[in-house]
Structure 1
Amino acid sequence: MVRALVVGATRGLGASLTRQYASKASSTVFATTRSSVPKDFPENVKWLSGVDLQKPKVGDDLAGQLKGEKPLDLVIITAGRFTTEDFNDKGPNWDEEVTMYTTSSIAPVFLVHALFHAGLLSKGSKVVLVSSESGSITLRHESEGGGNYAHHASKAALNMVGRLLSLDLKDAGVVVSIIHPGFMRSDMTKGVGFDKFWDDGGAVTTDDAASSLVEWTEKLDISKTGEYWAPRGPGDIGTAEATLGKGLSTPLKLPWRWLLRKAISVILLRDTALVWSLLRFRTRTAIYDKTLFVKCGLPLAVPADQDAGDDAQADDPDGHATGDDETLAMG
């Protein structure tokens, strides 16, 4: 039995997720709507109306409607907004930017905060933040140009929100997952003219994207909290090979640190003199650290007096490289 809450349930991916979870007889599904209760949904969906992500009290409003309920197993926040912007013709739009940021990256903080402190999230609960590959700085490539500032940046902000919430909630045993659900044939992408890219871009229906997300969520555990994933893999990410290389896996963990490591590798490999100069410097230092060179795939000789056991100091206990690469290359 799954007790699920879908925020942004009336259209697109949210509607597909709501229907799929409601189709399971053992599930209890809560779904939010900003105004009236929509039609053409299963009768067992429990609608929570008046949940407006533009309102400062949205978290309290939502938690208040769930007062007295048992903790939720799953919360999926999929509400979003996309208004196009460019640099020369339309230009940026202040009001629309505020709306996009509020919907995508501000409201989720207040929703999760209110749900947790109302006792509606507990050990084993899963929070899925529906982001997009458009929020990855690493995946942005000159071939796609600029523009659509708030669409991209609000999703990048959501990625950071998810990372931070995962740190706040890890000790409580609550999982936070940040997801690119896939390029979808939805009203949103059609509304901004992206339907012309559907076929070449490998766009899928919202039902297909929802099925992949449901499967992903079932396998999700605390080991992946705070991470940014594309459950459907790189197939619909047009810049994946250009920025990450070939032979990418499915599901695909989207980049947090890849960019800086790859850049260092390219820079060093282009300057052989610099490589060997650095290597000679390293071998003369009292404390030897080969992390940089190993991660860049560069050969080096370990000093005879260096204990191989010291290699373990290169990474922290969680397997993350030490240093600033994770911060600089956040994608």
Structure 2
Amino acid sequence: MKTAVITGANRGIGLAMATQLSQQGWEIIGVCRSDSDELEAIAGMVISGIDVTEPEHLQQVKKILGDTKVDLLINNAGLLQDEKLGEIDYDSIRDQFEINTLAPLMVTEALLPNMSEGSKVALITSRMGSIADNESGGRYGYRASKAALNAFGKSLSLDLKDDGIAVALLHPGYVQTRMVNFGGHITPEEAAEGLLARIDELNLENTGGFWHSNGEQLPW
């Protein structure tokens, strides 16, 4: 049985991916701030009370996992805020960098000893991190933190290729989640289906790519 570790697995897209992977026979390890009944129902293990920006919390996750092999790591936890020019909250931008950019790198580095040849890392990013695709401005913290995550992911794909570990940067789409006040175009289940299809296609030949969940390759 293959094992997937998913951050932010208690609700939204993370829960939908966890549920679908569980239905495919995967062992699910959910890492989250707050547990949920839905996650408990499908996960083999839930590690709750975890702030992925805190190194000591990640050490706790490592200790709990021990030598458990991680076949798939999905860095899904994220934060979306809005800043308007002239009244920018820079603390908000820092928070988004901590959660959206630094935390996925920290989690990946912490769990590297549990991964081996054939393992995969999925970074849930956003097309809002695309500089070429920005035609509306705003969202300074979210755009910049996701652009930086894309840079991290590309570097990870190169650094981990010799170890046989592939890395994908994945945009879920505009999804009906709490993050966007449920105003999206597709359901978390639809997004999860597309994301998992992209992860299934991920290999060492296409590692480091930036894709929409529908399969479209996105511009940097």
TM-score normalised according to structure 1 size: 0.63
Identity, % of aligned pairs?
32
Note if 1:120 corresponds to 2:111: no
Note if 1:149 corresponds to 2:140: yes
Other-structure match for 1:275: none
Report the 3-state secondary structure (helix = DSSP H, G, I; strand = E; otherwise coil) of the residue aligned with 1:57.
helix
Other-structure match for 1:252: 216
| 2:216 aligned partner, one-letter code | L
Structure 2 CA distance for aligned equivalents of residues 98 and 154 of structure 1: 9
Other-structure match for 1:170: 161
Other-structure match for 2:180: 189
Note if 1:221 corresponds to 2:203: yes
Structure 2 CA distance for aligned equivalents of residues 56 and 4 of structure 1: 21
Unaligned runs of 5+ in 1: 233-250, 256-330
CA offsets per residue over residues 166-191 of structure 1, 9 Å max, x none? 11111100011101111111111117
Note if 1:211 corresponds to 2:202: no
Report the 3-state secondary structure (helix = DSSP H, G, I; strand = E; otherwise coil) of the residue aligned with 2:50.
coil
Structure 1 CA distance for aligned equivalents of residues 152 and 56 of structure 2: 18
Note if 1:130 corresponds to 2:124: yes
Other-structure match for 2:58: 59
Report the 3-state secondary structure (helix = DSSP H, G, I; strand = E; otherwise coil) of the residue aligned with 1:188.
helix
Residues 1-331 of structure 1 mapped to structure 2, 5 A cutoff: 1-24=1-24, 26-35=25-34, 37-41=35-39, 43-45=41-43, 46-69=45-68, 71-88=69-86, 91-116=87-112, 119-141=113-135, 144=136, 146-190=137-181, 195=183, 198=184, 203-232=185-214, 251-255=215-219, 331=220
| 2:77 aligned partner, one-letter code | A
Any conservation in 2 of the 1:22–1:28 contact (CA below 8 Å)? yes
Report the 3-state secondary structure (helix = DSSP H, G, I; strand = E; otherwise coil) of the residue aligned with 1:185.
coil
Any conservation in 2 of the 1:128–1:176 contact (CA below 8 Å)? yes
CA offsets per residue over residues 82-119 of structure 1, 9 Å max, x none? 1111013xx21122211110101101111111111xx2
Any conservation in 1 of the 2:191–2:213 contact (CA below 8 Å)? no
CA offsets per residue over residues 171-223 of structure 1, 9 Å max, x none? 100011101111111111117xxx2xx4xxxx100110001111221221111
Report the 3-state secondary structure (helix = DSSP H, G, I; strand = E; otherwise coil) of the residue aligned with 1:87.
coil
Structure 2 CA distance for aligned equivalents of residues 77 and 220 of structure 1: 15
The higher relative CO (CA closer than 8 Å, separation ≥ 6) is in 2
Q: CA deviation at 1:48?
A: 0.9
| CA RMSD across the alignment | 1.5
Q: CA deviation at 1:42?
A: 5.2
Unaligned runs of 5+ in 2: none
Residue 58 to residue 177, structure 1, CA distance change in 2 (3 Å):
farther
Any conservation in 1 of the 2:154–2:209 contact (CA below 8 Å)? yes
Any conservation in 2 of the 1:2–1:28 contact (CA below 8 Å)? yes
TM-score normalised according to structure 2 size: 0.94
Any conservation in 2 of the 1:127–1:174 contact (CA below 8 Å)? yes
Greater C-alpha radius of gyration = 1
